């Protein structure tokens, strides 16, 4: 992501002095030392623990004086204590819609690995096995989307291309978007799960969506359903997905987890045929360009007195 | 495929006596013994060698008297000597369009494995590695299709859903289909390869298409191009694809090969990052239903004096 950042840094000319390190470290002391005199910090994919937040901002009486965190992601509530920053007047910025296509495309990469098993077949051919496997057709199947924002709509467009039927549950749906994409709106999330061949989650993580998918809805999935989550694990009631999947009659592919990195002893790893990727759905060339531009714009706006992408 | 066949067998009631074995054998003697008194044979995914053809049909002076082979595939020229059957008045039937969606979907399964590497990432997460990888965006990229029949058009529809640009080279293009799918027609196959980010082959194997893609066109692919073949290896000049890919600047995913099963010492296996599946693109639930119905209809038509799906 270094090159896309460099490309956008001229936006900060005459606004801020920029210090950029091109090595990668997750060591908290190194990060705090390097940002000791910073007014603003750009953060990508790093969880800021409470104690570290205190030191960044000087809440602990120390020299830290960060007043703005510009995150390169949408679900910032997973990465920093938003209430605590708000209480102290520290700005947190997120970014929006930069990765709609990237996440929608990864959703289909996961779905097609369940449907056609290219990863497994490639390994078998390399090992000299020519047995192959029967695939699962997408054409004519119904995909049920929980959530219908930018990502959900991008998923619906792709599903239309495959000749799939699209059903949607969402608390608020833009009727124009629904009509334009020819989707069926379903009032009850459990009904959506029951009538879908494939279920995919596309809600943002907010106070109102945390735990909104419960075991009651998950239980309505029929045997043979394919389940996808490229959104956030926390929108599902804690433990409910693992409990549902361990029954073994639903196949799943996931990019997000309650704990990341996924612990080696996590019971999800024992679900038969599960496909796991390490929270990479948002990561592609197109998204990096949009993401870095928005992060730099957030910092520029903060220093210039604007309110671009404020999340808290 | 046994259940879809059973479902369709009532079509042969009062037309033919059917003998069905539900075990799987590739042993030529077993197959010849079992079909010794057959007038017609249904063949799925089995190459009929010349010597075996002679014995099936009694060209060797033996008791064989098969007069119709109904293949469950489109590219029957790869599976039996069409000229020799024609010369002896033995009918060969193929099937058409049964697998357009299946092959188009597998094309995207291969493309997304190159773009997002779910197979590799899944293996890494299982091994405890959380590094991940940056993906390759499909949105906004150009896919160039060599061939624009039923499969090519299905690929174009899916590509439209992903927000890709679609360019097409084909000897004869239905202008209505091209206009309806918003594709750019390119007169020169080499130009198509040069301007495409992704190249995918979708020609049938015919006398006019065998070897139609030569090293001259393949050389026009830019470094970083992704190359897909779910059609037939024989539409590329022998050895040309291997030579082009071994240069290492084009990434490829293939489902078809000059020799199948792909020999363990085939140099294609040494192409960096190549993704290989064992000729499975046509195999899915939807295709099996359409395929078995057409095979049984071909046999019914043969015995009833019709000419359904005659290929020779």
Q: Give the CA distances from residue B131 to residues A73, A280, B81, B124, in Å, rounded to whole numbers and listed in that order.
A: 18, 9, 51, 8
- Token pair 């389940």 is at which residue? A227
CB contact under 8 A, A133 and B102: no
Over 90: is that where the pLDDT of B229 sits?
yes
Residue B239 has pLDDT above 90, yes or no: yes
Interface A–B counts its CB contacts (< 8 A) at 193
Cβ of B119 within 8 Å of Cβ of A118? The answer is yes
Instruction: Tell me what the mean pLDDT of segment B188-213 comes to.
Output: 96
**A168: β partners:** A145, A185
Helices assigned H by DSSP within chain A:
2-8, 28-34, 50-57, 82-87, 100-116, 118-126, 150-161, 175-181, 189-195, 215-218, 240-245, 285-303
* Cβ <8 Å between A284 and B113: no
Among all chains, which residue has been given the structure tokens 């192959």? A132
Q: Catalytic: B101?
A: no
B157 touches A at CB < 8 Å = yes
According to CATH, the topology of domain A2-97+285-303 is Rossmann fold (3.40.50)
- Active-site residue, B55 included: no
Q: Which CATH architecture has domain B2-97+285-304?
A: 3-Layer(aba) Sandwich (3.40)
Helix, strand, coil percentages for chain B (3-state, nearest 5): 40, 15, 45
Instruction: Name the band, by pLDDT with cuts 50, 70 and 90, for residue A45.
Output: confident
Contacts of A8 (CB under 8 A, 6+ apart): A292, A293, A295, A296, A297
Q: Do the domains spanning B2-97+285-304 and B100-276 agree at the CATH topology level? A: yes
Say whether A118 and B275 touch across the interface (CB within 8 A): yes
Q: Residue A171's pLDDT is what?
A: 80
CB B98 within 8 A of CB A137: no
CA-based nearest residue to A101, from A266, A304, A290:
A290
Residue B35: half-sphere exposure toward Cβ, Cα within 13 Å? 26
Taking only the tens place, the pLDDT of each residue in A80-118 is 999 999 999 999 999 998 899 999 999 999 999 999 999
Whether the ω angle into residue A231 lies within 30 degrees of 0, i.e. cis, is no
B28, B113, B258, B260: which one is catalytic? B260
Distance separating alpha carbons of residues A142 and A160, to the nearest angstrom: 10
A77: closest CA of chain B, how far (Å): 22
CB contact under 8 A, A135 and B110: no
| Residue burial A65-86, b: 16+ Cβ < 10 Å; e: rest | ebbbbbbbbbbbbebbebeebe
| pLDDT score of B161 more than 90 | yes
Report the Cα B195 to chain-centroid distance in Å.
25
Q: How far apart are CA B242 and CA B267, in angstroms?
A: 7
Asked if A118 has any chain B CB less than 8 Å from its own CB, the reply is yes
Chain A positions touching B166 (Cβ under 8 A) are none
CA–CA separation, B266 and B260 (whole Å): 11
Q: Virtual CA dihedral for B63, B69, B71, B74, nearest 10 degrees?
A: 130
What are the structure tokens assigned to A8, written together?
């956008």
Of B162, B276, B280, the CB nearest to A105: B162
Q: Quick one: pLDDT band at residue A174, thresholds 50, 70, 90?
A: confident
Min Cα separation A138/chain B (Å): 7
**CB-CB neighbors (< 8 A) of B111 in chain A:** none
**Cα separation of A233 and A259, whole Å?**
9
CB contact under 8 A, B105 and A288: no
| Contact assignment for B122 to A275 by CB distance below 8 Å | yes
Answer whether B105 sits within 8 Å of A162, measured CB to CB.
Answer: yes
Q: How confident is the model at residue A175 (pLDDT cuts 50, 70, 90)?
A: confident
Phi, psi (degrees; rounded to nearest 5) at A66:
-65, 135
Q: Measured between CA atoms, how close is B252 to chain A, in angstroms?
A: 12
List chain A residues with CB under 8 Å of B115: 105, 109, 284
Sorted by where each begins, the domain ranges of chain A are 2-97+285-303, 100-276
Q: Give yes or no: A113 in active site.
A: no
Cβ neighbours of B140 in A, within 8 Å: 286
The answer to whether the Cβ–Cβ distance between B284 and A133 falls below 8 Å is no
- What are the angstrom distances between the C-alpha of A66 and each of A24, A140, A274? 21, 53, 42
Q: Is the dihedral of CA B204, B205, B207, B213 positive or negative?
A: positive
**Distance in angstroms (rounded) separating the CA atoms of residues A124 and A117:** 11
The pLDDT value given to residue B103: 97
Nearest-CA residue of chain A relative to B270?
A126
| Rounded Cα gap, residues A132 and B24, in angstroms | 14
Confidence of residue B152 (pLDDT cuts 50, 70, 90): very high
CB A67 within 8 A of CB A91: yes
Question: In this predicted complex, what is the ipTM?
Answer: 0.86
Instruction: In whole angstroms, give the CA distance from residue A8 to residue A41.
Output: 16
A102 and B137 within 8 Å at the Cβ level: the answer is yes
How would CATH label the architecture of B100-276?
Answer: 3-Layer(aba) Sandwich (3.40)
The DSSP secondary-structure symbol of A270 reads G
Q: How far is B159 from chain A (nearest CA, A)?
A: 7
Question: Cis bond leading into B261, ω under 30°?
Answer: yes
pLDDT tens digits for B68-123? Answer: 999 998 889 889 999 999 999 999 999 998 899 999 999 999 999 999 999 999 99
Contact B170, B208 (CB under 8 A): no
Across the range A18-38, mean pLDDT stands at: 93
Which residues have CB under 8 Å from B125's CB, separation 6+? A262, A276, A277, A278
Neighbouring CB atoms inside 10 A of B310's CB total 14
Q: Which of A101, A106, A136 sits opposite B284 (nearest CB)?
A: A136
Task: Tell me which chain B residue has its CA closest to the CA of residue A159.
Answer: B161
> A119: which chain B residues are within 8 Å (Cβ-Cβ)?
113, 118-120, 122-123
Q: For A219-270, write each residue's pLDDT tens digit.
A: 999 999 999 999 999 999 999 999 999 999 999 999 999 999 999 999 999 9
Give dist(CA B88, CA B294) in Å, integer: 24
Q: Which residues contact A250 (CB under 8 A, 6 or more apart)?
A: A221, A223, A224, A225, A226, A227, A244
Phi, psi angle pair for B35, to nearest 5°:
-110, 20
CB contact under 8 A, A284 and B159: no
Which neighbouring-strand residues pair with B71? B43
Distance CA(A102)–CA(A255), nearest Å, equals: 13
Between the CA atoms of B8, B11, B15 and B18, what dihedral angle is there, to the nearest 10 degrees? 10
Query: How far is B297 from A99, CA to CA, in rounded Å?
Result: 48
pLDDT tens digits, one per residue of A144-168: 999 999 999 999 999 999 999 999 9
Question: Distance between CA atoms of A38 and A160, rounded to whole angstroms?
Answer: 48
Q: Does residue B51 belong to the interface with chain A, where contact is any CB pair within 8 Å?
A: no
CA–CA distance, B201 with B188 (Å, rounded to integer): 15
Q: Mean of the per-residue pLDDT values for chain A?
A: 95
Closest CA to A101 of A242, A230, A205, A273: A230
> Which candidate from A253, A278, A285 shows the least CB-CB separation from B132?
A278
Q: B56 pLDDT exceeds 90?
A: yes
Mutation target among A103, A121, A230, A287 for the B interface, most CBs of B within 10 A: A121
Whether A126 and chain B come into contact, CB under 8 Å, resolves to yes
Q: Mark yes or no for CB contact B138/A285 under 8 Å.
A: no
Helices A150-161, B150-161: inter-axial angle, 10-degree rounding = 170
Which pLDDT does position A301 carry in this prediction? 96
Q: What is the largest CA-CA distance in chain B?
A: 66
Residue labelled with tokens 């595939």: B73
Q: Is B224 an 8 Å CB contact of chain A?
A: no
Nearest Cα to A77, choosing from A94, A89, A90?
A94
pLDDT tens column, A197-212:
999 999 999 899 999 9
| Closest CA relative to residue B18, chosen from B182, B224, B231, B2 | B2
Beta strand pairing call for B184-185 and B165-169: parallel
Residue in the structure block whose two tokens are 């929608």: A104
- What is the distance between the alpha carbons of residues B51 and A95, in angstroms, rounded to a whole number? 67
pLDDT at B84: 95
Decide: A153 and A170 in contact? Cβ < 8 Å. Answer: no
Catalytic residue among A195, A279, A283, A293: A279
Residue in B112, B130, B286 closest to A139 by CB = B286
């Amino acid at each position: 992501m270094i090159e896309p950042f460099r490309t956008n840094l001229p936006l900060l000319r005459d606004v801020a002095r920029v210090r950029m390190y091109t090595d990668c470290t997750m060591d908290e002391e190194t990060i705090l030392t390097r940002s000791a005199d910073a007014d603003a910090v750009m953060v990508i994919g790093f969880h800021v623990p409470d104690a570290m937040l205190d030191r960044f901002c000087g809440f602990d009486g120390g020299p830290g004086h960060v007043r703005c965190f510009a995150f390169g992601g949408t679900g910032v509530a997973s990465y920093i204590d938003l209430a605590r920053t708000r209480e102290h007047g520290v700005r947190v910025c997120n970014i929006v819609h930069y990765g709609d296509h990237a996440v929608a495309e990864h959703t289909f990469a996961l779905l097609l690995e369940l449907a056609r098993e290219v990863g497994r077949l490639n390994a078998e051919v390399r090992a000299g096995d020519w047995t192959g496997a029967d695939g699962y057709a997408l054409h004519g199947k119904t995909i049920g989307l929980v959530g219908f924002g930018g990502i959900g709509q991008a998923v619906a467009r792709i599903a239309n291309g495959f000749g799939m039927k699209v059903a949607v549950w969402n608390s608020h749906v833009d009727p124009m978007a629904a009509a334009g994409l020819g989707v069926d709106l379903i009032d009850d999330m459990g009904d959506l799960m029951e009538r879908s061949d494939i279920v995919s989650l596309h809600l943002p993580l907010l106070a109102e969506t945390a735990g909104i998918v419960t075991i009651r809805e998950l239980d309505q999935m029929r045997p043979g359903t394919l389940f996808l989550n490229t959104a956030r694990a926390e929108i599902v009631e804690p433990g409910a997905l693992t409990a549902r999947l361990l029954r073994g009659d639903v196949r799943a592919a996931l990019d997000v987890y309650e704990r990341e990195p996924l612990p080696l002893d996590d019971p999800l790893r024992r679900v038969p045929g599960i496909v796991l990727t390490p929270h990479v759905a948002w990561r592609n060339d197109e998204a990096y360009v949009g993401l870095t531009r928005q992060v730099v714009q957030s910092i520029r706006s903060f220093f210039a007195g604007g309110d671009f992408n404020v999340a808290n």
